[in-house]
Amino acid sequence: MNALAATSRNFKQAAKLLGLDSKLEKSLLIPFREIKVECTIPKDDGTLASYVGFRVQHDNARGPMKGGIRYHHEVDPDEVNALAQLMTWKTAVANIPYGGAKGGIGCSPGDLSISELERLTRVFTQKIHDLIGIHTDVPAPDMGTNAQTMAWMLDEYSKFHGYSPAVVTGKPVDLGGSLGRDAATGRGVLFATEALLAEHGKGIAGQRFVIQGFGNVGSWAAQLITEAGGKVIAISDVTGAIKNSNGLDIPELVKHSAEKRGIKGFAGGDAVDPSSLLIEDCDVLVPAALGGVINKDNANDIKAKYIIEAANHPTDPEADEILAKKGVLILPDILANSGGVTVSYFEWVQNIQGFMWDEEKVNRELRTYIARAFRDTKDMCRAHHCDLRMGAFTLGVNRVARATVLRGWEA
């Protein structure tokens, strides 16, 4: 199912559970603003290349819009729209004073040189600089982008508006980035998993994990889960998938992946078919790459007891239904991966205050925010007799609806 159709379907189900007025429901669903820009750059060989960039600003009832910028060949308007909407509910679930946005450029970052990526990022920033800002819309990294991308955005934005570190988060620490932001999404995944397992009398130690994706989120999640005593038995990235039933040596895999630009060829595990990774026998499955990967075609074969959605919208609504019947518990994206935007919020606060926190404080606060979001979600599950996804959706949608009504519509 298309990402936007799936996300909107979840939203509508939550609106129904909350008994939202149909006109309010409609106004919450329609994005505040959709931006589409042409980005042409000279390539290193002198030829021109044109790309399409998007920024969808979904909602700002609770504060400045917030969300990452994705560089991936599959980026399209519907997907960015869905991801922006998810950010609105996610920031509300985390109870941080933001709305939601998302951006992206349809490109294959692996095929571009560093200087081509820099030119593309600068052109994109030139096209949207008037529509983002510290108190309007604050970008951050997502798939295919990183701290360096944010450094270029900050530099380009500052040419128009003066030096403004708080205009992006996930920056390098040398430019005002927060300690702990790089690991934050993976660390949030760990904290959220701990909260879920604790409810069932379990801990991370001894559980067998399978992780799809070994980029920022997947690699940090793997490292932190391993440090907490979990056994990561299989991992995939674009280059392939590997398995070791005794547990993969994650620090060695991190080194291998950095040197070889992927996990393929790692000596500490056996190569397996990437298409069967999600149906490997394990306790906890952590999709940490693309959307829509758990769907009606593979849901029946999934063996995990818990799915922790580190990626955005990895599970289709049809798969949700199949997995619920099988008794698989799903910790939804807007809660499970909210650690990234939560530490982005801490970064923005530090930039505005001109004061830096130490990493221990960042991680301690993150644990508090994730634990609170989990408790609040469970309260909504009890109130509405629903699963964790609808618990998180009703929590987020209700907070945004309340803010919208309080602000009113008077012209």
Ligand X SMILES: O=C(O)CCC(=O)C(=O)O
Ligand Y SMILES: NC(=O)C1=CN([C@@H]2O[C@H](COP(=O)(O)OP(=O)(O)OC[C@H]3O[C@@H](n4cnc5c(N)ncnc54)[C@H](OP(=O)(O)O)[C@@H]3O)[C@@H](O)[C@H]2O)C=CC1
Distance CA 113, CA 281 (A): 39
Does 337 help bind ligand X (rule: CB under 6 A)? yes
In angstroms, the first-to-last Cα distance of the chain is 38
Please give the full DSSP string across 309-365, using - where no structure is assigned.
Answer: --SSS-B-HHHHHHHHHHT-EEE-HHHHTTHHHHHHHHHHHHHHHT-PPPHHHHHHH
The number of beta carbons lying within 10 Å of the beta carbon of residue 267 is 8
State yes or no: 275 annotated in a binding site.
no
Name every residue whose Cβ is closer than 8 Å to that of residue 53 and which is 6 or more positions away in sequence: 36, 37, 38, 39, 103, 104, 105, 106, 124, 127, 128
Q: Report residue 40: phi and psi, to 5°.
A: -105, 135
Q: Given candidates 77, 97, 215, 317, which one binds ligand Y under the rule CB under 6 A?
A: 215
Active site residue 231: no
Name beta bridge partners: 331. 308
Q: Given candidates 13, 126, 136, 239, which one binds ligand Y under the rule CB under 6 A?
A: 239
From the candidates 102, 171, 231, 243, give the one annotated as an active-site residue.
Answer: 102
User: Binding string, 123-162, against ligand X, x = CB under 6 A?
Assistant: -----------------x-x--------------------
Q: Given candidates 125, 312, 351, 363, which one binds ligand X under the rule CB under 6 A?
A: 312
For 107, 232, 309, 380, the CA distances from 38, given in Å and listed in that order, are: 12, 42, 32, 43
Place of tokens 């999404």: 185
Does 143 help bind ligand Y (rule: CB under 6 A)? yes
* Bridging pattern class, strands 284-287 and 329-331: unpaired
State yes or no: 185 annotated in a binding site.
yes
- In the list ligand X, ligand Y, none, the entry touching 166 (Cβ below 5 to 8 angstroms by class) is none
Provide Rg for the chain, Cα atoms.
20
User: Binding string, 344-383, against ligand X, x = CB under 6 A?
Assistant: x---------------------------------------
Q: Given candidates 31, 63, 67, 396, which one binds ligand X under the rule CB under 6 A?
A: 67
Q: Name which of 4 and 310 has its Cβ closer to ligand Y.
A: 310
Does 341 help bind ligand X (rule: CB under 6 A)? yes
State yes or no: 90 annotated in a binding site.
yes
Q: Given candidates 49, 173, 238, 386, which one binds ligand Y under the rule CB under 6 A?
A: 238
State yes or no: 216 annotated in a binding site.
yes
Nearest approach, Cβ of 73 to ligand Y (angstroms)? 10
Point out which span in 282-290, 299-307, 324-332, 384-392 binds ligand Y (CB under 6 A). Answer: 282-290
Nearest approach, Cβ of 246 to ligand X (angstroms)? 33
**CB contact at 8 A, 365 and 186:** no
Nearest approach, Cβ of 88 to ligand X (angstroms)? 11
For residue 78, what are its two tokens?
A: 């519907």
Residues near ligand X, by CB under 6 A: 66-68, 90, 140, 142, 169-170, 312, 337, 340-341, 344
Catalytic residues: 102
Q: Binding site: residue ranges?
A: 66, 90, 185, 216, 344
Q: Binding site for NAD(+): residue ranges?
A: 185, 216
